[in-house]
């Protein structure tokens, strides 16, 4: 089983000390002063509270800097070549999308840009708060983000729906990961197999699973088709009739 490193909460400007303490309490994370971080925890995952919002940093990475989320960079990605676009262009935009592994909502954001309504669910409370702040700041209203374990909402999903899953995979291979995903992989435990299998038992006619080439744990059913990219593959389970 992979070992998880819980992020530590600290602050980047003195007036935010109290806010950082409250944040750490609310999410059951440890709080340290910036001095303690610098002196004793030079290799840890840090959640910084700053006057501009919440920032993340993995101090174990050389030359790392606190980072936020860049939805604009996502937008600039060449959508015509994008595998996600190729995948969702096969579906009717009237089908609501349930992103059951919301994370930073970077994929959810791109899916809304393709014309879909996205309900996204994230179980990790600090991450929910971080992503919610970024969605608000960037005025991204089309992604509806909820703090919830997705396993609890599966039974309420209608047949004319799309379930989207981007489960976490191992942390062994650093080279693939962008800093954002790297932070998540190091800090979160993910029972993705259960979520995948439960999603396959739901009523949703369409299920899309983003899978990484380095980790493909066997799924009980075979997908209807796959879209294969350099690093990721989308497995599509199409249960629409006719």
Ligand X SMILES: C[S@@+](CC[C@H](N)C(=O)[O-])C[C@H]1O[C@@H](n2cnc3c(N)ncnc32)[C@H](O)[C@@H]1O
Q: What residues line the site for ligand X (CB under 6 A)?
A: 100-101, 103-107, 121-124, 127, 149-151, 166, 168, 184, 188, 190, 195
Cα–Cα distance between 183 and 180 in angstroms, integer? 5
- Minimum Å gap between C-beta 102 and ligand X is 6
Cα–Cα distance between 240 and 205 in angstroms, integer? 5
Q: Residue 44 or 210: which CB sits closer to ligand X?
A: 210
Cα–Cα distance between 232 and 141 in angstroms, integer? 27
Q: Residue 88 or 121: which CB sits closer to ligand X?
A: 121
- Minimum Å gap between C-beta 210 and ligand X is 7
Q: Residue 9 or 102: which CB sits closer to ligand X?
A: 102
**Torsion angle defined by CA atoms of residues 37, 42, 45 and 49, in that order, rounded to the nearest 10 degrees:** 30
Q: Residue 39 or 191: which CB sits closer to ligand X?
A: 191
Q: Residue 127 or 162: which CB sits closer to ligand X?
A: 127
Residue nearest to ligand X (CB): 103
Angle between helices 125-137 and 17-26 (to 10 degrees): 130
- Minimum Å gap between C-beta 17 and ligand X is 27
- Cβ contacts of 178 within 8 Å, gap of 6 or more: none
- Minimum Å gap between C-beta 121 and ligand X is 5
- Minimum Å gap between C-beta 114 and ligand X is 14
Cα–Cα distance between 223 and 238 in angstroms, integer? 8
Asked if 18 and 34 count as a contact pair (C-beta separation under 8 A), the reply is no
């Amino acid at each position: 089983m992979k070992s998880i490193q819980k992020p530590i909460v600290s602050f980047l400007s003195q007036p935010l000390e109290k806010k950082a303490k409250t944040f750490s309490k609310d999410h059951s994370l440890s709080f340290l002063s910036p001095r303690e971080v610098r002196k004793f925890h030079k290799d840890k995952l840090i959640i910084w509270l700053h006057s501009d919002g919440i920032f993340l940093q993995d101090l174990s990475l050389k030359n790392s800097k606190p980072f936020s989320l860049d939805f604009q960079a996502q937008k600039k990605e060449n959508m015509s070549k994008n595998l996600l676009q190729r995948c969702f262009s096969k579906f009717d935009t009237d089908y609501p999308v349930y992103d059951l592994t919301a994370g930073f909502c970077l994929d959810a954001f791109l899916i809304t840009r393709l014309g879909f309504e996205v309900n996204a669910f994230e179980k990790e409370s600090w991450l929910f708060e971080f992503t919610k702040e970024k969605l608000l700041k960037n005025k991204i209203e089309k992604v509806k983000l909820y703090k919830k374990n997705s396993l609890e909402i599966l039974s309420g999903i209608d047949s004319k729906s799309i379930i989207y899953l981007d489960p976490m995979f191992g942390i062994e291979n650093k080279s693939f990961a962008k800093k954002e995903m790297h932070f998540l992989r190091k800090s979160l435990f993910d029972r993705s197999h259960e979520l995948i299998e439960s999603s396959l038992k739901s009523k949703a006619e369409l299920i899309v699973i983003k899978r990484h080439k380095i980790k493909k744990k066997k799924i009980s059913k075979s997908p209807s088709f796959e879209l294969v990219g350099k690093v990721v593959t989308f497995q599509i389970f199409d249960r629409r009739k006719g």
